[in-house]
C-alpha cells in the first residue's frame, strides 16, 4: 500500500500535469479507502471554510480519509488563517491535498505555502518548461526512463510531437516500452516510433514543395486524402515545416554558413543536409508566398473566403505554392 502524507500542496502553471496528479491521487485514495472516504471540493465549494469543515468532520469510514481541494489559487492571504491553524494539528488518518492551477494573475498565496512547509507538508511545484528548454527537458525525462537520447533526437521529438509536455512524456514512455533499458535513441528512431504515417507524408509534401517537386507534392496529398486526412494536417504540420524553411532560407541569404544552421533544425542530420541543399536553390520570397497560400487554405477550410470543396481548396493551394 502507498504511504500518504497528511498535507499536500501541488501548484504551478503546468495545468496538464497538475490535473494528472489530482486524478492519480484520487484514484489511489479510492483504492485505499473507497469512494466514501474521499471528499472533493471544487468550484464554489473550494474555499477555506469548506476545507476546514471537511477536514474536521467526523466520518464513519474506516481507514484514511482524503479531502481534495482544487482551486486554491483563488485564496487570498487574509482568508487562510483558519486553515493555517488547522495544518499544525491535522486529525489522524487524514490527508488534505490542495491543488493550485496558477497563471499570471492567480497564484497560491505565500501564507499558504509557508503554512504547509511549516507543518511539514509536501509542496510540489509543477512548472511549464519554456519551449527552448524542451529538448533538454525531454533528454532528462528520457534518462529517468532509462533512455539515452542524443541532443538532435530530442529536438526531433519536440518537432514531431509538439510542445505539450504531457504528450512529450507519453511519447517518451512509449519509447521506453518499445526499446531495451539503456538504449540509445537517435532521430531516426524517434521518427520511426513517434511520427505517424500521415505526419511523415505531410513532411514529404512540404519538402517536395521546398525542393520544387510539384508532382511529388500532389502525389503525397492524394495519398493523404485516400487515407482520410483532412486539410488541417497540411495546414498544421506543413505550415511548421514551411516556417522553418523560411527562417533557414533567410539565414542562408544573410550569409550564414549551412553548418551553423544545421544544429538549430529539429530534424535528423541527413534530412537537415537535404533540407538545406533544397533551400540553397529556392527563393525565400517563394517560400513566403507558399505560407500565404497555406493561410488562405486555412481560411477556406474554416468557412471564410470563397466557398469550395476541401479537395478543390487544397489543389488550388498546391498550385499557388508551386507557382
Q: Is residue 156 part of a domain?
A: yes
Looking up residue 235, the CATH number of its domain turns out to be 1.20.272.10
For residues 238 and 210, is the Cβ–Cβ distance under 8 A?
A: no
Q: Is residue 2 part of a domain?
A: no
Task: Give pLDDT < 70 ranges for the chain.
Answer: 1-2, 59-61, 195-201, 212, 224, 227-237, 266-268, 301-308, 322-323
For residues 121 and 32, is the Cβ–Cβ distance under 8 A?
A: no
The per-residue pLDDT for 304 is 66
Whether residues 55 and 171 share a domain: the answer is no
Identify the domain boundary among 76, 99, 125.
125
Q: In sequence order, what are the residues at sequence separation of 6 or more whose Cβ sits closer than 8 angstroms to the Cβ of residue 133?
A: none
HSE (CB half, 13 Å, CA atoms) of 281? 11
Whether residues 87 and 153 share a domain: the answer is no
The per-residue pLDDT for 86 is 93
Identify the domain boundary among 139, 173, 194.
194
Q: Over pLDDT 70: what percentage of the chain? A: 87
Q: Is residue 1 part of a domain?
A: no
For residue 48, give the C-alpha cell. Answer: 477555506
Interatomic CA distance for residues 9 and 108, integer angstroms: 9
For residues 11 and 117, is the Cβ–Cβ distance under 8 A?
A: no
Whether residues 102 and 216 share a domain: the answer is no
- For residue 66, the enclosing domain spans 7-125
Q: In sequence order, what are the residues at sequence separation of 6 or more whose Cβ sits closer than 8 angstroms to the Cβ of residue 123?
A: 9, 11, 113, 116, 117
The per-residue pLDDT for 28 is 93
The per-residue pLDDT for 52 is 95
Interatomic CA distance for residues 161 and 171, integer angstroms: 8
Q: Is residue 135 part of a domain?
A: yes
The per-residue pLDDT for 51 is 95
The per-residue pLDDT for 196 is 66
pTM attached to this predicted model: 0.54
The per-residue pLDDT for 323 is 61
How many structural domains comprise the chain? 3
Amino acid at each position: 500500500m502507498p504511504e500518504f502524507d497528511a498535507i499536500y500542496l501541488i501548484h504551478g502553471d503546468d495545468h496538464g500535469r497538475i490535473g494528472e496528479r489530482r486524478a492519480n491521487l484520487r484514484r489511489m485514495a479510492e483504492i485505499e479507502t473507497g469512494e466514501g472516504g474521499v471528499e472533493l471540493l471544487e468550484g464554489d465549494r473550494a474555499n477555506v471554510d469548506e476545507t476546514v469543515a471537511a477536514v474536521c468532520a467526523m466520518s464513519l469510514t474506516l481507514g484514511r480519509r482524503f479531502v481534495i481541494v482544487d482551486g486554491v489559487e483563488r485564496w487570498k492571504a487574509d482568508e487562510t488563517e483558519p486553515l493555517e491553524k488547522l495544518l499544525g494539528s491535522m486529525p489522524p488518518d487524514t490527508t488534505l491535498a490542495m491543488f493550485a492551477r496558477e497563471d499570471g494573475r492567480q497564484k497560491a498565496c505565500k501564507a499558504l505555502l509557508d503554512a504547509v512547509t511549516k507543518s511539514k507538508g509536501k509542496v510540489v511545484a509543477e512548472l511549464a518548461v519554456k519551449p527552448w528548454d524542451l529538448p533538454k527537458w525531454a533528454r532528462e525525462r528520457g534518462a529517468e526512463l532509462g533512455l539515452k537520447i542524443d541532443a538532435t533526437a530530442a529536438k526531433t521529438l519536440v518537432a514531431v510531437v509538439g510542445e505539450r509536455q504531457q504528450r512529450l512524456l507519453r511519447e517518451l514512455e512509449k519509447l521506453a516500452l518499445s526499446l531495451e533499458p539503456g538504449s540509445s535513441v537517435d532521430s531516426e528512431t524517434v521518427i520511426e516510433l513517434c511520427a505517424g504515417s500521415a505526419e511523415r507524408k505531410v513532411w514529404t509534401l512540404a519538402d517536395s514543395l521546398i525542393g520544387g517537386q510539384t508532382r511529388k507534392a500532389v502525389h503525397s496529398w492524394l495519398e493523404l486524402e485516400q487515407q482520410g486526412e483532412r486539410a488541417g494536417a497540411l495546414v498544421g504540420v506543413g505550415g511548421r515545416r514551411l516556417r522553418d524553411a523560411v527562417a533557414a532560407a533567410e539565414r542562408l541569404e544573410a550569409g550564414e554558413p549551412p553548418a551553423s544552421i544545421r544544429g538549430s533544425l529539429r530534424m535528423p542530420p541527413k534530412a537537415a543536409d537535404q533540407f538545406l541543399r533544397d533551400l540553397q536553390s529556392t527563393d525565400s520570397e517563394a517560400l513566403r508566398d507558399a505560407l500565404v497560400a497555406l493561410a488562405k487554405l486555412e481560411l477556406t477550410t474554416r468557412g471564410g473566403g470563397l466557398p469550395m470543396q476541401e479537395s478543390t481548396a487544397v489543389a488550388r493551394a498546391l498550385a499557388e505554392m508551386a507557382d
